[in-house]
């Protein structure tokens, strides 16, 4: 297993974080296809909400970049403290 991380952003900017990670890697789609055939490729994102009802959006370019590379987007959502609401 290998793991890359992006800088935290406040407010959240998942698109920028995806771009930060992908710019460190090859843009050769054939390499990504070969990797996806041999390995499980995923991008894990933890979303820590301050309140129980927040949202996040991903731009089409980010989704396309992940899809072109056969990268599964894995989201874990963590609700904020109910007492803070």
Which SS3 state, helix, strand or coil, does residue 45 take? strand
Indicate the pTM of the whole model.
Answer: 0.83
1 domain residue, yes or no:
no
Q: Is 32:68 a contact under the CB 8 Å cutoff?
A: yes
4-26 in b/e burial notation, b at 16+ Cβ within 10 A? eebeeeeebebbebbeeebeeee
Residue numbers of the domain that contains 45: 14-84
The domain tally of the chain equals 1
pLDDT digits over 2-58, tens only?
A: 889 999 888 889 999 999 999 999 999 999 999 999 999 999 998 888 776 777 889
4 domain residue, yes or no:
no
């Amino acid at each position: 297993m290998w793991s890359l991380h992006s800088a935290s952003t406040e407010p959240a900017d998942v698109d920028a974080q995806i771009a930060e990670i992908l710019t460190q890697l090859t843009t050769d789609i054939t390499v990504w296809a070969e990797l996806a055939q041999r390995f499980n490729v995923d991008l894990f994102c933890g979303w820590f909400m301050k309140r129980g009802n927040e949202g996040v959006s991903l731009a089409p370019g980010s989704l396309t970049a992940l899809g072109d590379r056969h990268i599964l987007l894995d989201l874990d959502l963590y609700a904020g403290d109910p007492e803070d609401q």
